Structure 1
Amino acid sequence: MTTTDVIAEEKGNTHNVRAVTRALTVLKSFVGKDGQTLAEVTVATGLDKGTTRRLLLTLMDNGFVTHDARAQQYRLGLAIRELAASVTGEFDLKALALPVLNDIASEFHMTAFLSVYDKGDAVCLARVHDMRGIEVHWWAIGGTLPFNCGGAPKLLLAYRPESEIAKAMKRPMVALTPKSITDPAKLEADLARIRKRGWELAVDDVALGLTALAVPVRDSQGNVVCSVSVAGLTPQLASRGRPAYLDRLLSAAAELERRLKASTMTQLDVTG
């Protein structure tokens, strides 16, 4: 920016930095889209192709954008999810859940997770590890797991509307281990079982030797808003296909549901 530009901005009584504004314009162009080509971003932002490409490369260097070389598309990156995980809405879900996660992590000597569904994937909002157990570090805060792998991703997908499940089934399924489900018919059967029994035990399908147990957390209308799960060594969590600690994890989910309800009522009292 030249001295003339700076003077002009001061006279206009604006504090906008043009490069930052342009970068934000690029990010906002991804709203409602899974991915965009360079040409599509250029059209959506109204910027010239060279400027758009430089902004995308800068955003890629900082983790806010990724590039799919096969599809020749740009997508929002992990840094966006990490920021989103820190956003406080009507109630701070993460803050409400952390005491519950701390309790079960220390009781089980495992890693406890809070996750939500987002466009076919599960996003980790919080992760708590007990220092006396083996830390499961495969799922970072703000990171995602594919919908067909892990306890929480499959459980969260199971409670989505049928149309959304059908849409997810059209996406390619990633096999993280030989135990990962990649057959749509088999996954649909798994989702039906999850809805019937109300929990999911995922054995060795994210990493061999590790198992996750996930249960749903519902709002006052009965909608599943998130999942509480624990992960640890397979012998700790699974015995002949049956989960350990299921009753305790269900009670933890019920406690979080009570916290959510109380928080919602407090918000209504304040605004009512």
Structure 2
Amino acid sequence: MSEDGKSTVRAVERALDILLCFTTNSEWAMTEIAENVGLHKSTVHRMLATLEERGFVVRDPASDRYRLGLRIWELSANMSGADDPAVIGLPEMERLGAMLGETISLYLRDGDERIRIQAVQSSQAVRRVAPVGARMPLYVGASSKVLLAFEDVQKREELLRVITWPDSFDKEQFCEQLEEIRRLGYATSIEEREQGAAAVSSPIFTRGGKLVAALSVSGPANRLTLEKMREQAPAIIEASARLGAMLK
């Protein structure tokens, strides 16, 4: 590749890094972006100007902060929903939410993290709010445990090696939990990741038997008790099976 070609690739990589900042925060100052991606402010300024010109970001003149532009939404609107769990699963999630009265989330594994790709918020006054796009570690939470427990053995062992475990974490006990989860067909968590929150989750397999996602019900721990989650588990497992039957 020529030097010009390498320079072009680097410019594309840097522009994508800037756009990826918006997966963690909805708004950024130019200096914050520069610090986050490790580039000089003048370089980030030029790239933001180009992205703004093309409609990928918008600058708020009052705050001098950037947010995603309409061009991003135009791109996402043209994503194929033919086999997208977030699109296909929404009616089933809405049905489950109406039945159980709690927040319903759909998670995919991305490397050693999980990401919420769809959510149906509870209509109750006190509820668990689940923002779409949120990323969480794989070592904590009901959906994380499901995405590990039902992964094929080789991949699960590989993930268990690469996860960055907290110093105080009991990995051996966690692995024992995974075996129990496989036996039960679902996982629960109470205040593991967030104080006052609880969740129960089950795996979603495609028609070909591939683990593709985790379906989760979450709510306040004082309402979503362990006993309550055990009662709800069969309905969640059934919903997961129906959703998976729609996926190739």
**TM-score band, normalised by the shorter chain?**
0.5 to 0.7
What amino acid is the match of 2:124?
R
Q: 1:252 aligns with which of 226, 229, 239?
A: 239
Is the counterpart of residue 219 in structure 1 residue 206 in structure 2? yes
**In structure 2, what is the equivalent of residue 183 of structure 1?**
170
1:124 to 116, 135, 139: 116
Q: Rg: which structure is higher?
A: 1
The residue aligned with 2:194 is 207
Hey, what does 2:223 align to over in structure 1? Answer: 236
Question: Which residue of 1 is the match for residue 57 of structure 2?
Answer: none
Q: Is the 8 A contact 1:238 1:244 kept in 2?
A: no
Give the secondary-structure state (helix, strand or coil) at the position aligned to 1:259: coil
Distance 2:230 2:89 in 1: 22
What amino acid sits opposite 1:164 in the alignment?
Answer: K
Partner SS for 1:216: strand
1:153 aligns with 2:144: yes
Which consecutive unaligned segments of at least 5 residues does structure 2 have?
1-6, 18-36, 53-67
In the TM superposition, what is the alpha-carbon distance from 1:88 to its structure 2 partner? 3.1
In the alignment, the residues of structure 2 paired with residue 222 and residue 173 of structure 1 have an alpha-carbon distance, to the nearest angstrom, of 29
2:85 pairs with one of 89, 93, 96? 93
Does the alignment pair 1:109 with 2:109? no
Q: Partner letter of residue 154 of structure 1? A: K
Distance 1:104 1:235 in 2: 20
Distance 2:174 2:142 in 1: 12
In the alignment, residue 13 of structure 2 is paired with which amino acid?
Answer: T
Secondary structure of 1:221 counterpart = coil
Q: CA RMSD in A?
A: 3.9
TM-score (norm 2): 0.67
Instruction: Give the aligned partner of residue 24 of structure 1.
Output: 12
CA distance in 1, matches of 2:220, 2:40: 50
Paired residues of 1:23 and 1:55 also in contact (CA < 8 A): no
Distance 2:93 2:238 in 1: 12
How many residue pairs were aligned?
202
Cα shift at 1:104: 1.3
Moved more, 233-242 or 209-218: 233-242
- Identical-residue share of aligned pairs (%): 18
Distance 1:129 1:241, change over 3 A: closer
TM-score normalised per structure 1 = 0.61
